[in-house]
Amino acid sequence: MRLRKLEEKDTAGMLEWMHDEETQKTFRRNMLGKTQEEVLEFINNAEIYPTEKESIHYAIVDSSDEYEGTVSLKNIDRENKNAEYAISMRKKARGTGSAYEATEEILKIAFEEIRLERVYLNVLEENKRAICFYEKNGWIYEGKFKKHLYLEGDYHDLRWYAILKEEYLQTHKGEEE
């Protein structure tokens, strides 16, 4: 697994997870209607270094450079030194360890390159697979926003998680030596 800039050849793989009805149930925004043109526009505007857009998006690829998913730091707030983490994986890449490795890489970028103090995420409470992944990988549960989102005719709770720089450094200090 490695991270690289999103490329036009990743379009079909992105549309695959966007158009997957099972995956869509875990999202706050409906992606089922996304078109190839919209995905290409996103790819062409995606940055891997924080700019005035203050979000970065990387392609997660395997050893053959095949697109497996996207990992992002969104809403990078330089003043308060925090950003929102997001990841989306193709079905065929789930359970391979790529999501874990991509998360490790994006956190390294967040804390060591961009010098953030906190990276956070939110997840629908019913997304048990993602919650298990986050908790297994060291994200700290911070709380729940009850009935925070109105989706598909019903209210949903949103769980919040974060990792602080000192927590990251504590668990990764052996790697720096």
Q: Tens digits of per-residue pLDDT, 20-63?
A: 988 888 887 888 899 999 999 999 999 988 876 689 999 999 99
| pLDDT for the residue 51 | 72
pLDDT in tens, 73-109: 999 999 999 999 999 999 999 999 999 999 999 999 9
- CA separation, residue 90 to residues 11, 51, 117, 123, 137 (Å): 12, 27, 30, 18, 19
- Which amino acid, one-letter code, is at 119? V
Helix 36-45 to helix 11-18 angle (10° resolution) is: 120
pTM for this predicted structure: 0.92
Across the chain, mean pLDDT equals 93
